[in-house]
Structure 1
Amino acid sequence: MAILSAPLAAQYRHYRCFRLLLWQVAALSFLLALTATSGDLVFQPVGDRSGNSSKKSLVATIKGQIILGGLFPVHDKGEKMCGRINLDRGIERLEAMLYTIDEINANGKILPGIRLGASVLDTCGRAPYALEQSLEFIRASFTSLDPTEFVCTDGSEAKPKSAPTTVVGVVGGSYSTVSIQVANLLRLFKIPQISYASTSASLSDKQRYDYFIRTVPPDTLQAKALVDIVQEFNWTYVSIVHSEGEYGESGIDFFKHEAKAKNICIAASKEISLRATNATYDDVIKELLDKPEARVVIVFVRSEDATGLLNAASRKGLAGKFVWVASDGWGNRLAPVKNNPLVAQGAITLELQSTAISGFENYFLNLNPRSNHRNPWFVEYWEEEHKCTWNGVSVPTSPAEVNFLTRRRACKGNERINRKITSQENKVQFIYDAVYAFAHALHDMQQDVCVGGKGLCTAMTNIDGETLLRNYLLNVSFNGK
């Protein structure tokens, strides 16, 4: 039998330890492949929003003893990776989560002696990018599955350069396509997930998405409401347009089923691709024009597609041509109608009933880049909102923006966030409810397992996701604002 020298033996032991770490990484890649069920999922290395893998992903954080993860569409979906900052739904939704955690931490009656923290990531409205970002949430869970795998044969431990953040649950995502892919990943590590906006009926399948819950109703109810509207106006011949993906497809399928039962005929049915361009929207408008008798158009699309559709109608000068009846993907958002007031006139849109959080309104309107350091995207939001550059430096998101940026004035820092058509983003309440659901569930757990019901006891230092979900989250109740 060959005898290794001491230096070679040490190298061999470290080699074996290194191989164990490589196995962990390979297993992560395999799990990602299992969750990648959509043809749109082409994985890039995790990096900044431009796809540069040499930069660490940005994260909004609140330090705490128990950490909640968050997923928000801070940026719009771009052609290849991430697009412009999402003024309508990105920053305000993210800040709603941070505000709610602040409020909980200031309340001595909820989780006494425990500070709740946050680790919030940008999804860019893309399932593959969101899935990559979500690796940050499961890295700690993965490495803790079997600690003995990290002990080398010489008795030393393989320690990471920085400890991954352990999250007990995730608030998000926004789009149903994002939530479905993330749910497939989180369930493998028993991490509960509460969405504040994903309404796809598919997510109601508890066999497939057993760690997913939400604070919003499924699309089946929206589809019924759309049919009721059509019936109320005695419209019997309509066209329909929906976005590719779970949100648009499941919603419009249920609408068709209900419409058939109510003798409503479908003149044209058009799907908008996830990779839609101006030409795509122009083609949709052309097909709608081919059915001139069907002036009513049922629109079950994402906000970006609603904007593209109305832009295309404006290019054709089709003011007053169609009556749009749209789901909450359009809802009361400014973006679709901002540059298209004439073609959008007379539209009927659905919006989920929600209550404005009064404390958040004061909080959000008084945010300032000088003091808001925990949100790494806030300066970018401020620049876009006020059309200025912070500290004389701004990074263009596209070549066409370079010349525009040179004409921007310098931000003074005393600009105000002005409300436009709506007073508060409509999903703020549902984010507020999701964070409070986690907080109350954790509080109930604390009262059960910690002696005296105060502080972070040993029993809560490594919280089991299944116990948190089954015994507490699914049984939680509280009075909201």
Structure 2
Amino acid sequence: MALLAPSVVRHATSVALSSITWMTLLLFQAPQLAHLSQSPSYSVVVKKEISTEGDLVIGGLFPVHEKGTPTEECGKINEHRGIQRLEAMLFALDEINKDRRILPGIKLGAHILDTCSKDTYALEQSLDFVRASLTKVDGSEHICPDGSYAIHDEVPMAITGVIGGSYSDVSIQVANLLRLFQIPQISYASTSAKLSDKTRYDYFARTVPPDFYQAKAMAEILRFFNWTYVSTVASEGDYGETGIEAFEHEARARNICIATSEKVGRSMNKHAFEGVIKALMQKPSARVVVLFTKIEDARELLAAAQRINASFTWVASDGWGALQSVVTGTEEVADGAITIELAAYPIQEFSVYFKDLDPYNNSRNPWFREFWGYKFHCSLQNQECGLNSLRAVKFEQESKIMFVVNAVYAMANALHNMHQALCPNATRLCDAMKPVNGKKFYKEYLLNVKFDGSDDHHVHLGQSQRLCCARLPFHAQTAHHPFPAPEEHRQPSHHHKPLQRHRSRISMLPWLHLPACANRVQWTRSCGLHHLLLMKLRLRRPRAPARCPFWSFPSSARSPPASCDH
């Protein structure tokens, strides 16, 4: 048995690897061992992961699969927020390794894992990053008690930093583990305000702003349309609960009343989702529902509303965002919804890269064949399945691809600056970066990194300890039915003139119409470098006569309208 070297212990600076720590690690490994021992055939389950070699290795956490059922860890493949974001990290690493201006002579590798959109599963997976840090050998020899030399078989590379996770509850769990070993972490999508507490998450950074800003934007939307009596639904967990708490604070400041507040649990069935919708229907005066939910929860809520024929106007956070897949099959009940999404600039080079991928030229991604079968509804055991092409189908770049790429470039540029400072005039890693001192890397280089990101916007990780991107607006997008209503069914608006003025396509919610943000400068100062857009609005198709059209809601939602004519 090989002994741990003193250098291994020193790698986890200021962390006492006591017996309690080792017991904790063993407890985390226990579920995996139990799973293998209980298998009827005693077969070894091969864990899927991406591992590419490099002088420095960056970890990655992505929701390649959606959350599973109560009896399964992982659900179906997550095309946009999983596969696309994962490939965005690989794309960025490829570009960096080809760029002689960043870390010349040094190759960046990757160790990417699937979180299955679940915090506990993600924590278990992230133990791989910690094990690699603990078993880093640095090439030195170690002698066992019997006098023989230790054999280092398949020793993993220590992780320099981690890109991820996606969901806030995942990032919080992982951050609590990584901080013990001083491994920096940059999230591309986690927006919970809790993660801004640097006394607890002192090795965490992100390329997206906290939920406070989109909560403020949602409250501004309600105030703009004079919707002052609304209901709320939040997903259980840090993202939904802290987000809706921030929204309610902003709503109270604008005299917006909350009719009822519902919560979506982690493991709810269809009947439970219908129960949430029925609870909302108990407040008939509140026709507007504010959602701070994950994508799968938003999808199930819409499906439940359709099953019981309920009609609401939804105002949703970026958990729903701009994904069309959320409303597929439920367009009728989702029509007219306003959703918040961080405005990101599409990276055209990534679109070209992704559309050129196929199961035969992308063997480094072990989940790509599963994605391919899901995308084209076929099996690769059938030869014709491999003849499909991503070029031949509609491609929509996921909204946070830019933030993934920015996170990877932030990590790479910080490593470049560290290498220049500690290893001047060297084209390889010097002893001062073997291994990388995580505390020094995070405090002195990562927080101070500056570079021009995609679309030439300036990225700087400042003292706020989050990446601030200039010209980074909020988009408020509306879900719409693919077939807009015929002209003869479009009714005039009497109460919402802004909607009437731009009723066929709203391209922008004017600055001057926002009560708390009278102009661009004021919005920038108070809403955190974001502005508000309303895009792609399609009017409703004709409904039953008793239902009021979306654009003729009463100007005050405190009491139900007597009729649609009001």
The answer to whether the superposition gives a TM-score over 0.5 is: yes
Q: 1:391 to 1:313 in 2, by over 3 A?
A: same
Q: 1:102 to 1:307 in 2, by over 3 A?
A: same
Counterpart contact for 1:379–1:390, Cα < 8 Å: yes
Q: SS in structure 1 opposite 2:417?
A: helix
Q: What is the CA deviation profile of residues 344-376 of structure 1, one whole-angstrom value per residue up to 9, with x for unaligned ones?
A: 000000000111111101000110101101000
- Matched with 2:226 is 234
Counterpart contact for 1:43–1:129, Cα < 8 Å: no
Residues 1:30 and 2:24 are matched in the alignment = yes
| Letter of the structure 2 residue corresponding to residue 44 of structure 1 | P
Counterpart contact for 2:344–2:402, Cα < 8 Å: yes
Q: Distance in 2 between matches of 1:59 and 1:462?
A: 23
Counterpart contact for 1:59–1:119, Cα < 8 Å: yes
Q: SS in structure 2 opposite 1:269?
A: strand
- Matched with 1:334 is 324
Residues 1:211 and 2:203 are matched in the alignment = yes
5+ long unaligned stretches in structure 1:
1-13, 37-41, 393-408
Q: What is the CA deviation profile of residues 85-114 of structure 1, one whole-angstrom value per residue up to 9, with x for unaligned ones?
A: 112311000000000000001101110000
Question: Within 5 A, what are the aligned runs for 1:140-151?
Answer: 140-144=132-136, 151=143
Q: What is the CA deviation profile of residues 233-258 of structure 1, one whole-angstrom value per residue up to 9, with x for unaligned ones?
A: 00110000000000000000111111
- Matched with 1:446 is 419
Q: Distance in 1 between matches of 2:80 and 2:35?
A: 21
| Letter of the structure 2 residue corresponding to residue 415 of structure 1 | S
- Matched with 1:114 is 106
Q: Distance in 2 between matches of 1:89 and 1:297?
A: 25
Q: Distance in 2 between matches of 1:296 and 1:145?
A: 58
Q: 1:110 to 1:48 in 2, by over 3 A?
A: farther
Number of aligned residue pairs: 438
Q: 1:48 to 1:224 in 2, by over 3 A?
A: farther
- Matched with 1:362 is 352
Shift of 1:47: 10
| Letter of the structure 2 residue corresponding to residue 206 of structure 1 | K
Q: Distance in 1 between matches of 2:363 and 2:335?
A: 41
Question: Within 5 A, what are the aligned runs for 1:39-438?
Answer: 44-45=31-32, 54-79=44-69, 80-144=72-136, 151-318=143-310, 321-392=311-382, 410-416=384-390, 420=394, 423-438=396-411
Q: Distance in 2 between matches of 1:424 and 1:465?
A: 33
| Letter of the structure 1 residue corresponding to residue 365 of structure 2 | N
| Letter of the structure 2 residue corresponding to residue 175 of structure 1 | Y
Counterpart contact for 1:296–1:322, Cα < 8 Å: yes
| Letter of the structure 1 residue corresponding to residue 194 of structure 2 | S
| Letter of the structure 2 residue corresponding to residue 480 of structure 1 | G
Shift of 1:161: 3.2
Q: 1:465 aligns with which of 438, 442, 448?
A: 438
Q: SS in structure 2 opposite 1:234?
A: coil
Counterpart contact for 1:89–1:425, Cα < 8 Å: yes
**Identical counterparts, % of pairs:** 50
- Matched with 1:474 is 447
Q: What is the alpha-carbon root mean square deviation over aligned residues?
A: 2.8
Shift of 1:54: 2.7
Q: Distance in 2 between matches of 1:383 and 1:293?
A: 46
Counterpart contact for 1:61–1:375, Cα < 8 Å: no
Q: Distance in 1 between matches of 2:35 and 2:358?
A: 23
Q: 1:141 to 1:412 in 2, by over 3 A?
A: closer
Q: SS in structure 1 opposite 2:447?
A: helix
Shift of 1:26: 7.2
| Letter of the structure 2 residue corresponding to residue 433 of structure 1 | N
Q: 1:86 to 1:25 in 2, by over 3 A?
A: farther
Q: 1:469 to 1:254 in 2, by over 3 A?
A: same
Shift of 1:265: 0.8
| Letter of the structure 2 residue corresponding to residue 365 of structure 1 | K
Counterpart contact for 2:133–2:157, Cα < 8 Å: no
Q: SS in structure 2 opposite 1:210?
A: coil
Shift of 1:61: 2.7
Counterpart contact for 2:167–2:189, Cα < 8 Å: yes
| Letter of the structure 1 residue corresponding to residue 86 of structure 2 | L
Q: 1:25 to 1:121 in 2, by over 3 A?
A: farther
Shift of 1:317: 2.4
Q: TM-score, normalised by structure 2?
A: 0.73
Q: What is the CA deviation profile of residues 321-344 of structure 1, one whole-angstrom value per residue up to 9, with x for unaligned ones?
A: 210000000010122111111000
- Comparing 56-65 and 321-330, the one that deviates more: 56-65
Q: Distance in 1 between matches of 2:209 and 2:353?
A: 27
| Letter of the structure 1 residue corresponding to residue 320 of structure 2 | W
5+ long unaligned stretches in structure 2:
9-16, 455-566
Q: Distance in 2 between matches of 1:469 and 1:438?
A: 10
Q: What is the CA deviation profile of residues 390-420 of structure 1, one whole-angstrom value per residue up to 9, with x for unaligned ones?
A: 124xxxxxxxxxxxxxxxx951333325665
| Letter of the structure 2 residue corresponding to residue 332 of structure 1 | A
Counterpart contact for 2:175–2:204, Cα < 8 Å: yes
Q: TM-score, normalised by structure 1?
A: 0.85
Shift of 1:280: 1.5
Counterpart contact for 1:48–1:58, Cα < 8 Å: no
| Letter of the structure 1 residue corresponding to residue 387 of structure 2 | G
Q: What is the CA deviation profile of residues 7-43 of structure 1, one whole-angstrom value per residue up to 9, with x for unaligned ones?
A: xxxxxxx6x969x99x99973442587xx9xxxxx97
Shift of 1:382: 0.3
Q: 1:17 to 1:463 in 2, by over 3 A?
A: closer
| Letter of the structure 2 residue corresponding to residue 473 of structure 1 | L
Q: Distance in 2 between matches of 1:340 and 1:264?
A: 28
Counterpart contact for 1:48–1:56, Cα < 8 Å: no
Shift of 1:438: 0.6
| Letter of the structure 2 residue corresponding to residue 327 of structure 1 | S
